[in-house]
Amino acid sequence: MESFRGKALSWELKNGVVELALHRAPCNEIGSLTLEELEQFVKVLERVTNEAHALIICSEIEAGFCAGADLRELHWRSQQMERKDAARGVRDFLERIHRVLNLIDASPLTTIAAVHGVTFGGGFELALVCDLIIADKMARFCFPELRLGLIPGFGGIPRLKRDLGNAVVRDLLLTGRSFNATKMQQVGLVSQVVGEGEPLRVARATAVQLGKFDRRTAVAAKRFIKPIPYEELRKEIDVFCELFAEPAVEAGLRKFVESEEAQPYLP
């Protein structure tokens, strides 16, 4: 058995199943710390490919799976730098997180996101790299980036387009509204909606089922049915960086960070 417990996430390989659990308060916001640990994780993931058949990604935080990028860190860092240096820093961060997410997306393991509660922005994008999404009935999915003057930057749009009809993608992105798990299952993104507190148990049961099949066949099937939209992912980084240079983004970030509104999570 291999295991690791860091400041933002932990992972364990047991009985052919790798479990990656996020545990950074308040709601697993993805900043430089989480990215560094994810980079360590994907190195391990590549190494244990022959010992495992499934990967489960879940959260130990009660509030949800992941609230997305760490906007407070992004705002703080961009305040410490010249504008052009901040833009370069954002591009570097995006390229690193894309490398991590592309590796998980392309992993020969069958991957399951076991999500609950807030699954917003970058958290939604993390779930989207997985082959299956198993959602607590109380989970909510949202891309609130447009309120900041941005688009999702962790591969959200190309991966949504891979899996969903364009009208649903437009609804999610352009309104910024959140969908509950049942709606997400109706549109075809969520594989199973389960009771409160049940996603990890169901994901583990699903992982046991996956282990019954020949791995080479499963890998071939995955390659055939889940192409990775690399070209669009590259374009997404470019569009995000262009938008990030707009003054409206800095204002939007400041408003979010300084917000004392009762409803900052409502788009």
Partner 1 sequence: MTASNQTLEQILNLAAAHFKVPREKLTADDDFFKTLGIDSLQALDLLTRLEHHFHIELPDYELQGVSDFRTLAERIQVRL
Residue that is written with structure tokens 């938008």 in the block: 243
Q: Give 147 or 222: the residue with its C-beta nearer to partner 1.
A: 147
Q: Give 118 or 210: the residue with its C-beta nearer to partner 1.
A: 118
149 binds partner 1 (CB under 8 A): no
Identify the bridge partners of residue 190 per DSSP, sorted by sequence position: none
Which of 29, 37, 145, 250 is an active site residue?
145
Among 23, 91, 96, 137, binds partner 1 (CB under 8 A): 137
Instruction: Using CB under 8 A, count the residues that bind partner 1.
Output: 23
118 binds partner 1 (CB under 8 A): yes
Does the active-site annotation cover 95?
A: no
DSSP track, 131-158: SEEEEETT-EEE--GGGGT----SSHHH
Q: Which of residues 188-217 bind partner 1 (CB under 8 A)?
A: none
Q: Cβ 152 to partner 1, closest distance in Å?
A: 17
116 binds partner 1 (CB under 8 A): no
Nearest one of 86, 134, 92, 89 to 110, comparing CA atoms? 134
263 binds partner 1 (CB under 8 A): yes
Nearest one of 48, 19, 28 to 206, comparing CA atoms? 19
Q: Give 29 or 131: the residue with its C-beta nearer to partner 1.
A: 29
174 binds partner 1 (CB under 8 A): no
Which of 19, 29, 125, 250 is an active site residue?
125
The rounded distance, in Å, linking the Cα atoms of 179 and 186 is 10
Within 13 Å and on the Cβ side, how many CA atoms surround 84?
0
6 binds partner 1 (CB under 8 A): no
255 binds partner 1 (CB under 8 A): no
189-194-198-204 Cα dihedral, nearest 10 degrees: -60
Q: Give 56 or 61: the residue with its C-beta nearer to partner 1.
A: 61
Among 64, 68, 123, 252, binds partner 1 (CB under 8 A): 64
Among 162, 183, 215, 222, binds partner 1 (CB under 8 A): 183
Among 3, 15, 79, 182, binds partner 1 (CB under 8 A): 182
DSSP H helical ranges for the chain: 32-47, 71-80, 83-106, 122-128, 156-163, 166-170, 181-186, 199-210, 215-225, 230-244, 247-258
**Which residues make Cβ contacts (< 8 Å) with residue 235, sequence separation at least 6?**
none
106 binds partner 1 (CB under 8 A): no
Cα 73–chain centre separation:
18
Q: Which amino acid is at 33?
A: L
The rounded distance, in Å, linking the Cα atoms of 154 and 134 is 20
117 binds partner 1 (CB under 8 A): yes
Does the active-site annotation cover 246?
A: no
Catalytic center residues: 125, 145
Q: Report the interface residues with partner 1, using CB under 8 A.
A: 27, 63-64, 117-118, 137-138, 140, 142, 175-178, 180, 182-183, 261-267
